[in-house]
Structures are given as structure tokens and as C-alpha cells.
């Protein structure tokens, strides 16, 4: 009876999972069809007549300069996440160990910034960033640190509460200065929350569209989401073949990465949620 | 120790605070004050009182009021659907049966795909389905509306499911056993044992889905871009196109942004307070 039930659950969820993945399959198949047949019959399997081979991929790569966009996306994400983890973990340690009115104010500011929608600062932020010449992939991380610090500080301070001060105090008695205490003692303890925070920030920054779109110098730098959106020309004319191919190229690396780091991603989500 | 660490603030706190100043505090303060000014760039602002707010609400060619209730409807409906489905799936996927982990993996995956990519992906699928009746996503604002519901449901259900699964797993075994011994049915166990114990997860999930719903932008832009004639614009997209699609409307755009921000902050606070009250002390 029990085994029977278990088999039924498995069968049910196999069907549901297949349905869930079906849209991805449709896009993948369409990326190999001639573009005229994509909008006309998106759910038809490719036939000899509609098969386009890799034409969509080559046009897409050319139209979007995809390889370059991927490189910029990678640079921006890696630098931003690195900078956020370093700076906010230091900040969070300080504000949870030195409790004054000022540090409490910093904490409240961070919590507040988590809720504020981007549209509130969109216009002025892009002007300020231009004024300060922060419009390249190498300087954009400063903006991400500024706008995205909230969540990271919040997660780190939440975790710091469960870390006993005694270890740090004994390190101090042994003659360590604050910097050595942080990098030698605290940072290793923070490792699990570093991973969680890093994953949450990576998911956000890698997929972010509007912030880089408004701030980057678009003639020279585009990220993957910007490149995909640029396939839509003036009023609705879209090369659907190239679009399908680029969607596949945008999705595949994430899925592969996910399958490898699934454990960390899932525990990162859970940790992020508990801290809320 | 506190005293020794205290004087190190330039090293520990200053970098983050400087970035916060550039990336958040200054733009926020400027944005707030500019909402009371007429301007095209930052340097030519003239104080005009609440003129911008009046313009934002009164102009009928502009669909701000429409976007307001359209977004509210979308946010509440998507929140309800996502969470109900996520709890149902989580209840099924905490059971031990063959392939559970693979199924969890599948349901979570869409979360990692960015909003722009998701929007385009679903545009093809949904237009393909609607084409059977000779319709498209932009035939009326409601096709776009339900399209957005489908997209966000597909994307966020798995994320919330993960949170609910971990919540369900943390319910002490004795409580479920006690309920079973008392002869509680599955439904009774759910309502009177599991759900109350799940309230912390419910709090955070409602918070996440509701604010996500109000802030949604990328999916909206890629799926319908606000068509037909701005009727499927959510608030974020409406504000964006006021800023960058209409000359002379930057002030009104900023006023809308302030209203938007206030709405999101108030909802977030109310909602956290409301659900916190219902949590069971563990």
C-alpha cells in the first residue's frame, strides 16, 4: 500500500515536472527553426522544411554581440558580489560589535533601503552616477554596493548575533588588532552566510536589467539582459529566431551552474528567508 | 573590546557608507525633493509645490491611476496564487518518495532566469496558445495581466516552495505524532498544527511575493511592454515610461515614484506587523 502510494506520487510529479519544463523545451526547439515558422506554429516540432540548423545562433550572436555582453555581465557580477561581501561583512561586524546610536542608525538605513523600489532613485541615481563617471562595468560595482548593501548587511548582522563575542575577545587579549580579528577569526566563522549572501546577490545582479541599462554607457557596454532586450528593434520588430537562440544561450549557463551548486543555492535561499 | 574596535570605523564602515551615500541616500533625498520641483536635468529645478502630484493623478491620457489599481490587483492575486500553490507543492514534496529531490530542483529552477529572459520566453508560449483564437497578449490589457500572473507564478512558486519545505521540516515530530494519536485527519493536522507552525515562513513568503508583485518591471517590459496603449503597465513600468518616454514629465514621474515608494513601504510594514502577530511562539 505504502509503496503503491509512493509510486503514485512519483508518477504525478513526473507529469507535473514535465509540464513545468515544457516552456523551456519549446524555446529550445524553436531556436532551431526558421524564424518565419516560430510565431506561426511555435509548438510544432521542427521538420525538414522548418529546420534552420544553427543559423539563428550565428545571427543572434552577431546581432547582440553576445559574447562581449556575457563577459561584461560576468565582470560586473563578480566584482560587485566580491565588493559587497567584503565591505558589508566588515560593516556588519562593526555595527553589531560597537553599539551606538550611529551604528543603530546605519542598520535602520540598511533595512529601509531593502524595501525602497528602484524607481524611486532611478532618475537621480543615473544622473549622479554619470556625474561621477561610474558608467563602466568596472565602476558599476560601487553603485551595486550602495544600492544593494541593505540585504547583505541585514543578513550578516543577523548571523553575527549568534556568534559569541568571547572568541574575539580572547583573540584581542592575545594581542590581535581589530583587522586581524576580523580577517583571522570572524571572516572564517562568517563563511556560511557569505555563501548565502553571495548567492542572493549574484542572482540579483546577474539578472538585473534596469540599473545597468540606465547607468552603463550603452554604446560600449551591454549586459546579457540588455543585449536580449535590444533584439527588439523600434516598434515591435523582433528577429524571433535570433531571440530564441539568445534565450537558450542566456538560460543554459545558469541551469548548468544551478545543477552544480544546487545545495548552496537552496540553503542560501532558506538562510535569507529565516533572517527576514 | 568595543573601545578598541570603535576607532576603526573608517576601515570597517566608511566604504559601505560612502557607497550607500552615492547609491542610495543622495539619490533618494534628491528624488524626494525633486518631486516638488519642475525640472529636466538636475541643475534647472524650480520649486513648484505639489504641482507634480496633481499632474500625476489628474492627467487622464496618462494611465497612472489605472496602473495603481492594476498593480494592486496583480500583486494581491499573484501573492495569493503563488503562496497557495507553493504550500500545496511543499506539502507533497516533504514526503519521502522516489525523485523528490529532482522534482524540487525542477520547480525551483525558473527562479534563476532573469525577468527579461522570462518575459520573452513566455511571450512566445502564450502568444502561441492565444493564436488558436486569433488573439495575442496585447489584444487587451487582461491577456497581459493573466500572462504576467502565469510568468510570476512559474518563476516564484519554487522559491516559496523551498522556504515552506524548510519550514515544514522544522516542525517537531512529537507534535505531528500527538495530532495523529488524537485522531486528527490530514486536513485538521494541516489547519491546526502545520499551518500555525508554518507562520514564520508564511510571513516571509507573503512579504517577498507582495513586494515583488508591486515592484515587478522586467517581466512586464519583455512580455507586453505596456501594450495595448499603456493599459498593461504596472506601476514600475508606468513610472519608467513617464520619465523616459514623455518630455517635460520628469517631475510628474518623480512624484509618481514617491507615491510608489510610500505604498511599498507602508504595505511592507503593515504586512509584517499583521503576520508577526499570528506567529506561534516556538
Q: Taking a C-beta distance cutoff of 8 angstroms, is the pair A221, A72 a contact?
A: yes
- Phi, psi at A132, each rounded to 5°: -90, 5
Residues of chain B neighbouring A262 (CB-CB closer than 8 A) = 105
pLDDT attached to residue A235: 56
Average pLDDT, chain B: 85
Domain spans in chain A, listed from the N-terminal domain onward: 68-223
A145/B166 Cβ within 8 A: no
Pick the residue with more confidence: B141 or B87? B87
Cα A61 from Cα A78, distance rounded (Å): 23
- Which residues pair with residue A33 across a beta bridge? A51
Residues 46-85 of A with CB under 8 A from B: none
Which chain B positions have a beta carbon within 8 Å of A183's beta carbon?
A: none
Residues on chain B touching A93 (C-beta within 8 angstroms): 12
Provide the CA B82 distance to its chain's centre, in angstroms. 11
Under 8 Å CB-to-CB from A57, ≥6 apart: which residues?
Answer: A31, A245, A249
ipTM, interface predicted TM-score of the complex: 0.84
- Rounded mean pLDDT of B263-271? 86
Q: Quick one: cell of A60?
A: 543572434
Q: Does A138 touch chain B (CB under 8 A)?
A: no
The pLDDT value given to residue A276: 45
Question: Is residue A268 within 8 Å of residue A199, measured between CB atoms?
Answer: yes
Residues in chain A: 276
pLDDT tens for residues B207-226? 889 888 999 999 898 888 87
> B210 by DSSP, 3-state: which?
helix
Superfamily of A68-223 according to CATH: MetI-like (1.10.3720.10)
HEC profile for B154-177? HHHHHHHHHHHHHHHHCCCHHHHH
Angle at A194 between CA A174 and CA A253, to 5 degrees: 150
Mean pLDDT of B111-134: 86
State the best of A93, A117, A157, A242 to mutate against chain B, taking most chain B CBs within 10 Å: A117
pLDDT in the model for residue B83: 95
Higher pLDDT, B85 or B136: B85
pLDDT tens digit sequence for B50-78: 877 887 788 766 688 888 889 999 999 99
Rounded Cα gap, residues A156 and B273, in angstroms: 23
| In contact, A60 and A249? CB cutoff 8 Å | yes
Best B110, B120, B129, B253 member to test A by mutation, with max A CBs in 10 Å, is B120
What HEC string does chain A produce? Answer: CHHHHHHHHHHHHHHHHHHHHHHHHHHHHHCCECCHHHHHCCCCCCCCCCECCCHHHHHHHHHHCHHHHHHHHHHHHHHHHHHHHHHHHHHHHHHHHCCCHHHHHHHHHHHHHHHCCHHHHHHHHHHHHHHCCCCCCCCHHHHHHHHHHHHHHHHHHHHHCCCCHHHHHHHHHCCCCHHHHHHHHHHHHCHHHHHHHHHHHHHHHHHCCHHHHHHCCCCCCCCHHHHHHHCECHHHCECHHHHHHHHHHHHHHHHHHHHHHHHHHHHHHHHHHHHC
Q: Which contiguous run of DSSP H or E holds residue B200?
A: helix B195-215
Which among B19, B27, B166 has CB closest to A142? Answer: B19
Is residue B282 scored above 50 in pLDDT? Answer: no
Read off the pTM: 0.86
Q: In the structure grid, which three cell numbers stand for residue B186, read together? A: 490530514
CB-CB contact of A149 with A87 (8 Å): yes
Instruction: Please give, rounded to a whole number of angstroms, the shortest distance from the CA of B191 to a CA of chain A.
Output: 22
- Are B22 and A20 a contacting pair at CB < 8 A? no
Q: Where are chain B's structural domains? A: 2-52, 56-278
CB contact A29 to B (< 8 Å): no
Nearest by CB to A120, which of B5, B28, B124? Answer: B28
Give yes or no for residue B280 having a pLDDT over 60. no
The rounded distance, in Å, linking the Cα atoms of A142 and A148 is: 10
Task: Give the closest-approach CA distance of B88 to chain A in angstroms.
Answer: 12
A186 touches chain B (CB under 8 A): no
The answer to whether B171 and B193 have CB atoms below 8 angstroms apart is yes
**Cβ contacts of B8 on chain A, cutoff 8 Å:** 94, 178-179
**Is A42–B125 a contact, with Cβ atoms under 8 angstroms apart?**
yes
Residue A205 buriedness (CB in 10 A; 0-12 / 13-18 / 19+): buried
Question: Grid coordinates standing for B102?
Answer: 529532482
The better pLDDT of the pair A44, B200 is held by B200
Q: Phi, psi at residue B47, to the nearest 5°?
A: -65, 130
Cα(A212)–Cα(A222) distance, integer angstroms: 8
Q: How many CB atoms lie within 10 A of CB A103?
A: 19
Per-residue pLDDT at B278: 62
- Write the class of the CATH domain B56-278: mainly alpha
Q: Is the dihedral of CA A118, A64, A201, B5 positive or negative?
A: negative
Distance between CA atoms of residues A234 and A230, nearest Å: 9
Residue B9's pLDDT is what? Answer: 82
Q: Are strands B46-47 and B37-38 parallel, antiparallel or unpaired?
A: antiparallel
Q: Which residue carries 525640472 as its cell?
A: B39
Partner-chain residue, chosen from A17, A106, A270, that has the shortest CB–CB distance to B106: A17
Tens place of pLDDT for every residue, chain A, 276 residues?
A: 678 888 888 888 899 999 998 988 888 888 888 777 777 777 777 777 777 777 788 887 878 888 888 999 999 999 999 999 999 999 999 998 888 888 899 998 988 888 889 989 998 898 888 888 888 889 899 999 998 888 899 889 888 888 888 888 888 888 888 888 889 888 998 888 898 888 888 888 988 999 999 888 888 888 988 988 888 765 557 778 888 888 898 888 888 888 888 888 887 777 776 544
DSSP per residue, B64-131: HHHHHHHHHHHHHHHHHHHHHHHHHHHHHHTS--TTHHHHHHHHHGGGGS-HHHHHHHHHHHHHHHHG
Q: Percent of chain B at pLDDT above 90?
A: 18
Copy the grid coordinates of residue B96: 519521502
Q: Is A95 on the interface with B (CB under 8 A)?
A: yes
Residue whose cell numbers read 538636475: B42
Amino acid at each position: 500500500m505504502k509503496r503503491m502510494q509512493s509510486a503514485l506520487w512519483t508518477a504525478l510529479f513526473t507529469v507535473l515536472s514535465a509540464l513545468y519544463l515544457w516552456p523551456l523545451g519549446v524555446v529550445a526547439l524553436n531556436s532551431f527553426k526558421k524564424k518565419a515558422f516560430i510565431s506561426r506554429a511555435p509548438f510544432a516540432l521542427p521538420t525538414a522544411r522548418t529546420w534552420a540548423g544553427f543559423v539563428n545562433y550565428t545571427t543572434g550572436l552577431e546581432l547582440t554581440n553576445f559574447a562581449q555582453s556575457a563577459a561584461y555581465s560576468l565582470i560586473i557580477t563578480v566584482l560587485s558580489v566580491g565588493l559587497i561581501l567584503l565591505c558589508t561583512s566588515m560593516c556588519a561586524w562593526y555595527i553589531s560589535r560597537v553599539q551606538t546610536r550611529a551604528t543603530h542608525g546605519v542598520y535602520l538605513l540598511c533595512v529601509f533601503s531593502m524595501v525602497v523600489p528602484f524607481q524611486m532613485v532611478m532618475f537621480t541615481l543615473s544622473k549622479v552616477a554619470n556625474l561621477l563617471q561610474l558608467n563602466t562595468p568596472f565602476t558599476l560595482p560601487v553603485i551595486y554596493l550602495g544600492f544593494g548593501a541593505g540585504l547583505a548587511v541585514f543578513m550578516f548582522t543577523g548571523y553575527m548575533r549568534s556568534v559569541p563575542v568571547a572568541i574575539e575577545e580572547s583573540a584581542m587579549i592575545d594581542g590581535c588588532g581589530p583587522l586581524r580579528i576580523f580577517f583571522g577569526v570572524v571572516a572564517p566563522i562568517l563563511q556560511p552566510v557569505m555563501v548565502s549572501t553571495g548567492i542572493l546577490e549574484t542572482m540579483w545582479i546577474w539578472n538585473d536589467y534596469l540599473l545597468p541599462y540606465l547607468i552603463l554607457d550603452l554604446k560600449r557596454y551591454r549586459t546579457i539582459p540588455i543585449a536580449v532586450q535590444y533584439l527588439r528593434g523600434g516598434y515591435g520588430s523582433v528577429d524571433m529566431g535570433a531571440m530564441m537562440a539568445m534565450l537558450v544561450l542566456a538560460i543554459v549557463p545558469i541551469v548548468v551552474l544551478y545543477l552544480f551548486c544546487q545545495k548552496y543555492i537552496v540553503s542560501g535561499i532558506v538562510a535569507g528567508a529565516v533572517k527576514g | 573590546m568595543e573601545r578598541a574596535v570603535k576607532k576603526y570605523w573608517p576601515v570597517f564602515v566608511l566604504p559601505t557608507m560612502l557607497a550607500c551615500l552615492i547609491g542610495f541616500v543622495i539619490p533618494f533625498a534628491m528624488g524626494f525633493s525633486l518631486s516638488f520641483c519642475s525640472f529636466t536635468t538636475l541643475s534647472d529645478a524650480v520649486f513648484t509645490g505639489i504641482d507634480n502630484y496633481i499632474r500625476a493623478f489628474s492627467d487622464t491620457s496618462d494611465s497612472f491611476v489605472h496602473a495603481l489599481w492594476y498593480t494592486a490587483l496583480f500583486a494581491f492575486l499573484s501573492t495569493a496564487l503563488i503562496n497557495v500553490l507553493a504550500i500545496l507543492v511543499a506539502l507533497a514534496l516533504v514526503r519521502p518518495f522516489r525523485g523528490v529531490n529532482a522534482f524540487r530542483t525542477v520547480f525551483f529552477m525558473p527562479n534563476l532566469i532573469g525577468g527579461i529572459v522570462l518575459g520573452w520566453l513566455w511571450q512566445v508560449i502564450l502568444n502561441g496558445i492565444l493564436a488558436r483564437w486569433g488573439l495575442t497578449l496585447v489584444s487587451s490589457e487582461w491577456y497581459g495581466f493573466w500572462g504576467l500572473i502565469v510568468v510570476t507564478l512559474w518563476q516564484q512558486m519554487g522559491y516559496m516552495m523551498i522556504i515552506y519545505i524548510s519550514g515544514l521540516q522544522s516542525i517537531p515530530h512529537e507534535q505531528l505524532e500527538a495530532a495523529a494519536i488524537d485522531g486528527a485527519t490530514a486536513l485538521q493536522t494541516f489547519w491546526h498544527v502545520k499551518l500555525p507552525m508554518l507562520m514564520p515562513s508564511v510571513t516571509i513568503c507573503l512579504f517577498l511575493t507582495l513586494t515583488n508583485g508591486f515592484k515587478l518591471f522586467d517581466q512586464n517590459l519583455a512580455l507586453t511592454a505596456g501594450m495595448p496603449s499603456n493599459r498593461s503597465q504596472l506601476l514600475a513600468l508606468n513610472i519608467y515610461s513617464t520619465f523616459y518616454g514623455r518630455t517635460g514629465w520628469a517631475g510628474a514621474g518623480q512624484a509618481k515614484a514617491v507615491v510608489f515608494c510610500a505604498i511599498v513601504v507602508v504595505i511592507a510594514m503593515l504586512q509584517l506587523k499583521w503576520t508577526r502577530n499570528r506567529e506561534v511562539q516556538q
